[in-house]
Structure 1
Amino acid sequence: MNKIIVYEYEDFNGLSKEFISDVPDLRSVDFGDCISSLKVIGQPWLAFQNPNYKGLPAAFEEGEYKRIPLNNQISSLQLVTEDLENPQITLYENAKYEGASKVITEETNLTYGYFNNKASSHIVQKGAWLLYEKAYRSGWLCIAREGTKNPDYGSIFNFHDKCSHVYPLKAGRPVITTKILWDRKKVESESEVVIDEFIGINATDFEQTFNSSNSRVYETATSHSFKFTPNLQIDEKFTLSIDPSTTLTVEKGKPESIHTIDKVKVIVPVKIPPHSELNVQVIKKLVTASAPVEVSITRNGKTKTEIGEYRTVSGRSINARYAVKPIEIKKKT
């Protein structure tokens, strides 16, 4: 959900209102020229000094703003609906898109290059941009949105040869959901490990009790990990539900695995026949498996689905194997 919550006073105090769509005139909802702090969830919002999105502008990306520019001066609000991924704007040296040009796809301080204070027109190919009069996002600013053209900075903006910093607005945090496609699970390897072994000998003519309990409890660890595929580009933290009690938190650039500890009860034989040797081995089966993960990323009402990979090395399967063999009893002479 994209929304903005506006407050009458600084630090989110006083009266408040919440909006999920454009408000051309805040006086019509009894909240004009009184906003001093705000919170943005999702896509950025634009604020304007005058009704109908005119006058001095300010832009607010997702976050909390205890104090704001245009304090007690905001008269209209507008939600940025553009797709803000892979932004692109072309600046031109002269009006009407003539002269030298510069294509920009990321935040750029023009004072570090050869195009500082040279732009006089622009075309926005993708995204929503803020063009600043001074470096470091300061001074007067111009808002440039996808699909728009400004053929002449002079006639309206008096902005000829004054652009020094260019900033693309960033989208809000996406909603990410995941689903492990268990029906496509693949077992990559299996191996067995002996984790316990014991032997009992009964040299008598009667059945003997080997121990007092017919079960033993063993601890075993299972590792769970998530692998990013080349196409999966997510910078946000998200969770992967493996089972009702196990959730893996995934964040790119950090360890993407967890270990869970289980206790497994194993039934073992406790009786040894007469003149017999009982050999018991406790075997743990290690299984390495993988399954694709469907990752759905919803931003600004649009959902795209990518595929990641869940991997596990499990040792939960533990069982006892035993063999009984007769022993030779030497008779006394």
Structure 2
Amino acid sequence: MTTESQIVFYEDRNFQGRSYECKGDTSDLHSFFSRCNSARVKGGFWVLYERPNYMGYQYILAPGEFPDYHHWIGFNDCVRSCRLVRHVTGHLKLKLFERPNFDGQTWEVTDSTPSIQERFLCKEVHSCKVHEGPCVFFQHANYHGRQYLLEKGEYRRHTEWGAMHPTVGSIRQISTDLPAAGKQFNWPNKYFLDSASPHTGVFRIRLYERPDFQGQIMECSEDWPHLYDRFRHREVQSCNVLGGAWVFFEHPNYRGRQYLLERGEYRRFSDWNAMNPTVGSIRLVQEL
């Protein structure tokens, strides 16, 4: 029997608060809920978008339960549009190209690849042809960082799959081979949450609205030149550096006083030696 495609969004964590049941593509979810902190995928594979009209950060969800947005590797509680992933065949065949417009060296992928660099000795993919799919490109190795859904078709440049740069660290196949009822689907969410290590090359930091890791949370894995555009707050009262080293800047665009934060917990802004909690921009430290 075919399972009906369906996802239920909840405003609060652990499936609490106002909910909305969705059965198809929706370009603007704002009228149904103001925030999304948990979700249940009852059937099908779904792409959640941070902004309306299928724009912004993408999160691909398989059937299962997600008690908070960190379980789908979310950067915040903002979900403004969603669509169903169609034509999931359980097979993968794609060709990666070194340059735009299908030029340069090529590599063929037929299964999930946790490290593109180790397998093909490259860090960038500038164009791609998906012959069988769909699949997910991840910004970093081991299925970390930003996600981009690629369905069957041709992509002449990285911007056509929604990326701002051509870096591809890993590729994950979307498979129809679900586990037995009651078991968690084998998707990399738990691995992502539990595996941040200073030796993996993964940069990850969690910012909090209030001291002692309270209030609204924002998670980041890349440079942010203007924190207010993402966080909607000008103050960071506490933070947890889960991977890598970071620099906080007092003003946007990496200006003003600087504060270096290495892996660890910072319960209040004075722990990183700041005189006030104002943070205008943050930048990761590539080498330390």
Answer yes or no: same fold by TM over 0.5: yes
Please name the residue that 1:149 is paired with: 154
Please name the residue that 1:79 is paired with: 84
| Aligned pairs for 1:89-100 within 5 A | 89-100=94-105
SS of 1:113's partner is: helix
Residues 139 and 169 in structure 2, CA contact (< 8 A), matched pair in contact too: yes
Please name the residue that 2:49 is paired with: 48
Give the superposition deviation at 1:116.
2.9
Change (3 A) 1:136 1:65: same
Q: Distance in 2 between matches of 1:5 and 1:27?
A: 14
Give the superposition deviation at 1:70.
4.3
Residues 58 and 70 in structure 1, CA contact (< 8 A), matched pair in contact too: no
| Aligned pairs for 1:287-302 within 5 A | none
Please name the residue that 1:38 is paired with: 39
AA aligned to 1:163 is V
Residues 91 and 101 in structure 1, CA contact (< 8 A), matched pair in contact too: yes
Check if 1:9 corresponds to 2:15: no
Residues 8 and 40 in structure 2, CA contact (< 8 A), matched pair in contact too: yes
| Aligned pairs for 1:1-333 within 5 A | 1-28=4-31, 30-31=32-33, 33-68=34-69, 69-108=74-113, 109-146=115-152, 148-153=153-158, 157-160=163-166, 162-171=167-176, 173=178
AA aligned to 1:43 is G
Give the superposition deviation at 1:4.
0.4
Q: Distance in 2 between matches of 1:5 and 1:39?
A: 5
Q: Distance in 1 between matches of 2:58 and 2:98?
A: 24
The one-character-per-residue Cα deviations of 1:260-285 (angstroms, maximum 9, x if unpaired) are: xxxxxxxxxxxxxxxxxxxxxxxxxx
Give the superposition deviation at 1:154.
5.9
TM-score by length of 2: 0.55
Change (3 A) 1:154 1:43: closer
Residues 90 and 177 in structure 2, CA contact (< 8 A), matched pair in contact too: no
Larger Rg: 1
TM-score by length of 1: 0.48
SS of 1:171's partner is: coil
Q: Distance in 2 between matches of 1:85 and 1:79?
A: 16
Q: If each structure's strand is expressed as a fraction of its own residues, which one has the higher value?
A: 1
Give the superposition deviation at 1:44.
0.8
The one-character-per-residue Cα deviations of 1:18-52 (angstroms, maximum 9, x if unpaired) are: 11111110024x22x41100011222100001111
Aligned residues: 172
Q: Distance in 2 between matches of 1:115 and 1:122?
A: 17
Q: Distance in 1 between matches of 2:67 and 2:54?
A: 23
Q: Distance in 2 between matches of 1:172 and 1:45?
A: 16
Q: Distance in 2 between matches of 1:138 and 1:70?
A: 12
RMSD across aligned positions (CA): 2.0
SS of 2:57's partner is: strand
Q: Gaps spanning 5+ residues in structure 2: where?
A: 182-288
Change (3 A) 1:3 1:154: closer
Change (3 A) 1:149 1:131: same
Q: Gaps spanning 5+ residues in structure 1: where?
A: 174-234, 238-333
Of all paired residues, the percent bearing the same amino acid is: 21
Q: Distance in 1 between matches of 2:9 and 2:159?
A: 34
Q: Distance in 2 between matches of 1:4 and 1:70?
A: 20
Residues 116 and 164 in structure 1, CA contact (< 8 A), matched pair in contact too: no
AA aligned to 2:28 is D
Higher relative contact order (CA 8 A, sep 6+): 1
Change (3 A) 1:70 1:24: farther
